[in-house]
Amino acid sequence: MSLFRIERTVPLAPEEVWRRLTDWPAHGRQVPLTRTRVLTPGPNGLGTRFAARTGVGRLSFDDPMEVVRWEPPAPGVPGACRLAKSGRVVLGWALVEVAEAPAGCRVVWTEELAVRGVPRFFDPMLGRAGRVLFGRALDALLRTA
């Protein structure tokens, strides 16, 4: 499995950052060739399931996820959301942490993922690709202007 971490500080309130980062369909709009469907009725919370479908036509795969930890931020209290990935292609987890910071809000996105059939030898490359791809998606979701 490949582990990577992305950190950002943005001039937004933690509650607004949480709202943006837990808008699962918005994630799909930021990742090329991907769309995300929420599979459970709202509102979002513990047990919410969704799937990101990536690819074109028959060259597509689903990345199903479930929220297994849901602790929204509150004044003076950081928030955390953990996702478990259980697909036939992509496995692993992601932890999104949101906390107040002097300049607004600090976000830490930590993810461990594996792609079935890809040898561990490629984990460093997978981690770098994940950091770039998810970093760009995170930047787009947090854009203030």
What's the Rg (C-alpha) of the chain?
Answer: 15
d(CA 27, CA 40): 17
The tens digit of pLDDT for each residue in 44-77 reads 999 999 999 988 888 889 999 999 999 999 999 9
What pairing do the DSSP bridges indicate for beta strands 2-10 and 34-38? unpaired
Share of the chain above pLDDT 70, in %: 99
What local confidence, expressed as pLDDT, does residue 106 receive? 97
Are 99 and 79 a contacting pair, CB within 8 Å?
A: yes
SS (H, E, C) the chain: CEEEEEEEEECCCHHHHHHHHCCHHHHHHHCCCEEEEECCCCCCCCCCEEEEEEEECCEEEEEEEEEEEEECCECCECEEEEEEEECCCEEEEEEEEEEEECCEEEEEEEEEEEECCCCHHHHHHHHHHHHHHHHHHHHHHHCCC
The tens digit of pLDDT for each residue in 6-40 reads 999 999 999 999 999 999 999 999 988 899 999 99
Q: What is the pTM of this model?
A: 0.91
Number of CB atoms found within 10 A of residue 120's CB: 10
Residue 123 has pLDDT above 60, yes or no: yes
d(CA 57, CA 55): 7
- φ, ψ for residue 131, nearest 5 deg: -60, -45
